[in-house]
Each structure stands twice: as C-alpha cells, then as structure tokens.
Amino acid sequence: MWFKNIRVYKLSAPLSTDPAVWEQALAEFKFTPLTAQEAVRSGFSFPLHASIKQYCHACQHLLFFALKRQEKILPAAVINEEMQPKLEAMEQEKGRPLSRKEKQSLKEELQLSLLPRAFSRSTLTQGYYDPENQWLVINSGSASKAEDVLALLRKALGSLPALPWLDNHKLNTHLQLWLQNQALPQGFVLGSDAELKAPDDEGAKVKFSNHLLSADEVQSHLQDKLVTSISLEQADAISLAITDDGAIKRIKFHDVLTGQNDELGWEDLTARLDADLMLMASALNQALLSISQQVGAAE
C-alpha cells in the first residue's frame, strides 16, 4: 500500500467526510468483471485488501478508495497473424487490394471475434481524500489514469471541483532554483537525479542519475535548458522526484519509517494496514505541504 508515484489534485470545495456516504456512492459504481465481448471495464473496488470489503475505508480523517480496471489483452502479433489469411482471401475474392477503410473494418471485426478467447489483465489504482488539506492523492504517475479515477469519482459523488495542486509556471521557476540548490522546500535537500530539456519542440535532452548535481557539468545546462524532473530527499523519511507537470514519481520511503510498525505484526490485518497507511500518508502530506508552501497552489 506504499504509494510509488502520485498525482495530486486540490479541491476548490469540500467533499463529504462521511464514510457511509462515500461507501454508498462508490458501491453504485462498483467493479464487475468483463463480459466475453467487452474490451475494458472500470469500477470501484476494495482499497485496503480483497478480504476487507469496503469501497471506502476511513483511516482517521482520511478516506481511501480504489479504481479497478480490467482489460483484454490482444497482442498486435496475434491480430496480424489471424488477419493475414483473411485479408488475402478477401483481396482474392474482390480481385483488388482492400482499401484502408476496409482493412480497418476487417481488423475491428477480427478483434471482436478474438475477445472471448483473450486473457484479461486487472490493475488497481488507489487514492485518498484528505479533507484537512483538501487534496485528492492518486497512486499513479500517469495523468490519464489519474483522470480516469477522477472521472468515475465525479459520477459517483455528483461533483468534483478538482484542480492541479501546483501553479505550473511557478513550479517551473522553482525547479530551476532547486537545481542550483536555492529555495528548496523546507526539510528537503537536493537529490542526485535530474532531467533537463531545451525549450524548443525538438530540443536536446540530458539526464543525470546518481550524480553530484552541483557539478559544473550539470549546472552549465541551465544556460539553455529547463529542468523537467529533479529528485529531492528528506532525511529518514522520503525521497522523490518532482516533474514539471506536478507529478511526484519514484517515491521511496526510508527503512526507518517503513519499519516503525513491524512490532505490530500481521495478526490483525486491518490494524496493521491502517497503521502503515497513516505512516505513509503522514510522510506524503508533510512532503506535499512543504513543496506546495514553497511553490504555491494553482488558482
């Protein structure tokens, strides 16, 4: 349950904090498995554990939820192998090459016929609502996957006034400063990874990993490039990379932090998961607050 990549959204109006309201709303859009002819389906599932059948799990003031997505896997190589003899047969029958539109139609018909035999793959995207900070934190580095969660939440809850959590213009300015080890968020030090890109569409890119970022060979790139990603670290707590669109990626929680609940064991699964959730959320929220206070929220 330790999040690895997150997208954060700031709410302009508060949501209900009643777990029963959330439970009923999410249950109406619960996940059900794909039918034979469906390619993809999404719905809310159990965020804590499959054995703990709650669509909304309240942990102190936080409300946890999860979106389950199931999709059929049809590799392109399989489709092409099945399609080639059908394509040749149709061209021979018509006495001419098929048009692009006819090929696409044949491909779509073939995909539909293969769906009942295709394997399915499921993914679970978790998140939580923090009413104290008015944040939605989604456990995904992908903007499109996070937006899928928000879209279904919006249907379930009726409204969801969510905005990006940071002012991107201000963030871009701060990324440049942070690489120069200036005006870092409180409690953070500069990490050892950074990516930069020239501002034009086909601009040169450079990536540094496990590198001393204060070195001249790194700093010289600030003359003609913009920072697109940079890593930051908090001692004995958390390390992360923040990108120029506000995503937080490559999150790592320090062993000192993750080991704090080891003495609880796993006999009481809910109690242990709750304890770990609060450790994780507390560390994340402290980091997010420090960054947002330095950069400024989006308006």
For residue range 227-273, list pLDDT tens digits in order: 999 999 998 899 999 999 999 999 999 998 888 888 888 889 999 99
62 close to 128: Cβ distance less than 8 angstroms: yes
* Amino acid code (one letter) for 294: Q
pLDDT digits (tens, 9 = 90+) for 148-191: 999 999 999 998 999 889 988 999 999 999 999 999 999 999 99
Question: Which residues, listed in sequence order, are joined to residue 94 by a DSSP beta bridge?
Answer: none
247 close to 236: Cβ distance less than 8 angstroms: no
pLDDT given for residue 299 in this prediction = 52
211 close to 192: Cβ distance less than 8 angstroms: yes
Range from 2-6, 70-74, 76-80, 97-101 that averages highest in pLDDT: 2-6
- Sheet containing 238-243, strands listed edge to edge, beginning at the edge strand earlier in sequence: 205-208, 189-197, 226-234, 238-243, 248-253
What pTM, to 2 d.p., does this model score?
0.85
Tokens found for residue 299: 């308006």
Write out the E strands in 158-279: 162-164, 189-197, 205-208, 226-234, 238-243, 248-253
Residue 52, H or E segment:
none
Report the alpha-carbon distance of residue 199 to residue 80 in Å, rounded: 39
pLDDT given for residue 200 in this prediction = 84
Residue 86 sits at φ, ψ, to 5 deg, of -65, -40
Domain layout of the chain by residue ranges:
7-74+118-164, 76-116, 168-295
160 close to 153: Cβ distance less than 8 angstroms: yes
pLDDT digits (tens, 9 = 90+) for 2-27: 999 999 999 999 999 999 999 999 99
Report the alpha-carbon distance of residue 74 to residue 47 in Å, rounded: 28
